[in-house]
Chains A and B, each alone.
Chain A
Amino acid sequence: MALIETSGLTKHYGQVKALEKLDLAVEPGIIGLVGANGAGKSTLLKVLLGLLTPTSGSASVLGMDTVRETRAIRQVVGYMPEHDCLPPDVGATEFVTHMARISGLPRTAARERTAEVLRHVGLYEERYRQIGGYSTGMKQRVKLAQALVHDPKVLLLDEPTNGLDPSGREEMLDLIKRTGTEFGITVVLASHLLGEIEQVCTYLLAIDAGHLLSAAPISHFTQRTPVLAIEVEEGADRLVAALAAKGARAREDGSRVLVAIESDALYDTVRDAVADLALPLVRMQQERGRLEDLFRDATPGAVAR
Chain B
Amino acid sequence: MSSPNPVTDSSPAGSIYDLGYRHYEGPRRGRIWAMWSLFVESLRGVWGFGRPMSAKAAPFILGGLYALPALFQLAFASVLAKEISSGSGTELMTYRVYFGMFYFLVIFFCVAQAPELVCRDQRYRVLPLYFTRSLSRAEYALARLASLAAALFLLLMVPCVALFVGDILMQPDTFKAIGDELPKALPALPANALIAAALSALSLTVSSFSPRRAYAAIALVAYVLLAEAVPGAISAIGRNSDWTWTDKLFALTPITSLIGASDWFFGQTLNPQEFTGSLTADAYVVVALMSVVVFTMVLLFRYRRLPA
Contacts and interface: CB of A to CB of B under 8 A. Distances in A.
Contacts of A106: 26-27, 29, 33
Given A81-B125, A101-B33, A122 B12 contact: yes
Given A85-B125, A85-B126, A177-B1, A104 B28 contact: yes
A94 interface: yes
Interface string B102-137: 000000000000000000110011101111111100
B2 to A, nearest CB: 7
Contacts of A150: 24, 28
Given A85-B124, A89-B51, A104-B33, A109 B26 contact: yes
A219 B8 CA distance: 33
Given A89-B52, A150-B28, A177-B1, A102 B135 contact: yes
Interface string B7-44: 00011110000001111101111110110011001000
B304 to A, nearest CB: 13
Contact of B308 (A46, A71, A88): A46
A88 B37 contact: no
A136 interface: no
A85 B27 CA distance: 27
Contacts of B26: 105-106, 109
A81 B24 contact: no
A268 interface: no
A290 interface: no
Contacts of A104: 27-30, 33-34, 133-134
Contacts, number: 106
**Interface bracket on B:** 35 or more
Contacts of B29: 104-106
B279 interface: no
Interface stretch (A113-121, A220-228, A231-239): A113-121
A71 B34 CA distance: 12
Contact of A102 (B24, B120, B125, B133): B133
B132 A109 contact: no
Interface string B189-202: 00000000000000
Given A98-B37, A109-B24, A51 B11 contact: no
Given A89-B51, A106-B27, A178-B13, A74 B134 contact: yes
B185 interface: no
Contacts of A182: 20-21
Contact of B129 (A75, A85, A89): A85
B283 to A, nearest CB: 41
Contacts of B272: none
Contact of A83 (B13, B125, B131): B125
A146 interface: yes
Interface of A: 46, 49-51, 71, 74-75, 77, 79, 81, 83-90, 94, 98-99, 101-106, 109, 113, 116, 119-120, 122, 130, 146, 150-151, 170, 174, 177-178, 182-183
14 contacts: A51-B132, A51-B308, A71-B30, A71-B134, A86-B126, A87-B124, A87-B126, A89-B55, A98-B41, A102-B37, A102-B130, A103-B34, A104-B33, A109-B26
The 10 tightest CB contacts between A and B, nearest first, are A151-B24, A101-B37, A104-B28, A104-B29, A79-B132, A183-B21, A102-B133, A102-B34, A87-B124, A51-B308
